[in-house]
């Protein structure tokens, strides 16, 4: 009986540690400070370097882009596409195909967009503080986000947050097919003068573009 109680106690302690790791208070403290920082900024523009790798298939692709954000609105410009979201409608423009896809924006969707990354930890994720890393003379706090849903598109998101000012240096998304998508912020400019019309796509400015409306 005594041995059985000892085993049960040991199992309980291990389970308790796992729960703490899943919802790490240290990680939450850092994430809350990071989120508060970006929520206090009216709008911003950021230059991004995106690296997609798959070690198994020997794939390594790098794309540079720029994103402008204002509340839930954003405009993301990449080498091969442009995504515009005015908080209600999403336009995805593909220059090579000369087409634009139009869809409704669903703020409750599980899809990860560049705006959601600042608040993503608040719903549907466990989080764990892994420690500090020094890169280029800067100290970063490393945090892993793990989806609660087993069928989530990504099984982990790794965030690197500057210890000094709680700004995001990078985040990496790991999907189940072995792909890794790393986004690095190379330049950040806050509080610009941006009109709301900037977050709408006008097909008239793109002669010959095919409109595919799936709303």
Q: In sequence order, what DSSP letters do the residues of 157-214 get, joined into one string?
A: EEEEEETTT--EEEEEEEETTS-EEEEEEEEEEES----GGGGS--GGGSTTPEEEE-
Residue 17 has pLDDT above 60, yes or no: no
What the block records as the tokens of 168 is 């995001």
Tokens 């998508």, residue located: 181
Tokens standing for 211? 């409109």
CB atoms closer than 10 angstroms to residue 139: 11
Q: What is the pLDDT of residue 152?
A: 84
| pLDDT tens per residue, range 20-35 | 447 899 999 999 999 9
Three-state DSSP at 44 gives strand
User: Of 3-7, 74-78, 164-168, which gets the smallest average pLDDT?
Assistant: 3-7
pLDDT digits (tens, 9 = 90+) for 75-110: 999 988 999 999 999 999 999 999 999 999 987 776
Q: Among residues 77, 154, 86, 79, which one has the least CA distance to residue 117?
A: 154
pLDDT computed for residue 112 by the predictor: 66
Mean per-residue pLDDT over the chain, rounded? 87
- Per-residue tokens: 117: 């990354």
- Report the pLDDT value the prediction gives residue 80, as an integer from 0 to 100: 87
CA dihedral 106, 112, 115, 120 (to 10 degrees): 100
**CA-CA distance, 65 to 42, in Å (whole number)?**
21
pLDDT at position 68 over 90? yes
Three-state SS sequence of 115-149: CHHHCHHHCCEEEEEEEEEEECCEEEEEEEEEECC
For 55-73, give one letter per residue: b (16+ CB within 10 A) or e: eeeeeeeeeebebbbbeeb
Partner residues linked to 211 by β-bridges: 100
What pLDDT sits at residue 18? Answer: 41
181-210: pLDDT as tens digits: 999 999 999 999 999 999 999 999 999 999
More confident: 53 or 11: 53
13 has a pLDDT exceeding 70: no
For the chain, domains (ranges, CATH) are 24-213 (2.50.20.10)
pLDDT at residue 15 above 70? no
State the pLDDT at residue 110.
64
Beta-carbon contacts of 83 under 8 Å, excluding residues fewer than 6 positions away, are 74, 75, 76, 90, 91, 92, 93
Whether 139 contacts 132, CB under 8 Å:
yes
Predicted TM-score (pTM) of this structure: 0.81
123 falls in which pLDDT band (50, 70, 90)?
confident
């Amino acid at each position: 009986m005594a041995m059985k109680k000892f085993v049960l106690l040991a199992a309980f302690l291990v389970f308790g540690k796992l729960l703490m790791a899943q919802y790490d208070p240290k990680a939450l403290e850092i994430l809350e400070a990071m989120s508060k920082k970006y929520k206090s900024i009216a709008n911003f523009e950021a230059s991004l370097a995106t690296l997609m790798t798959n070690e198994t298939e020997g794939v390594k692709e790098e794309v540079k882009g720029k994103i402008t954000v204002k509340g839930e609105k954003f405009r993301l410009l990449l080498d091969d596409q442009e995504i515009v979201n005015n908080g209600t409608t999403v336009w995805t423009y593909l220059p090579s195909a000369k087409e634009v896809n139009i869809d409704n924006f669903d703020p409750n969707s599980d899809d990860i967009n560049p705006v959601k990354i600042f608040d993503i930890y608040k719903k549907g994720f466990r989080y764990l503080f892994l420690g500090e890393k020094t890169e280029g003379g800067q100290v970063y706090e490393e945090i892993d986000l793990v989806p609660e849903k087993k069928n989530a598109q990504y099984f982990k998101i790794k965030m690197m947050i500057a210890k000094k000012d709680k700004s995001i240096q990078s985040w990496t998304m790991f999907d189940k097919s072995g792909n890794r998508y790393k986004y690095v912020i190379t330049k950040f400019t806050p509080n610009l003068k941006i009109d709301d019309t900037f977050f709408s796509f006008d097909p008239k400015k793109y002669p010959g573009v095919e409109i595919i409306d799936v709303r």
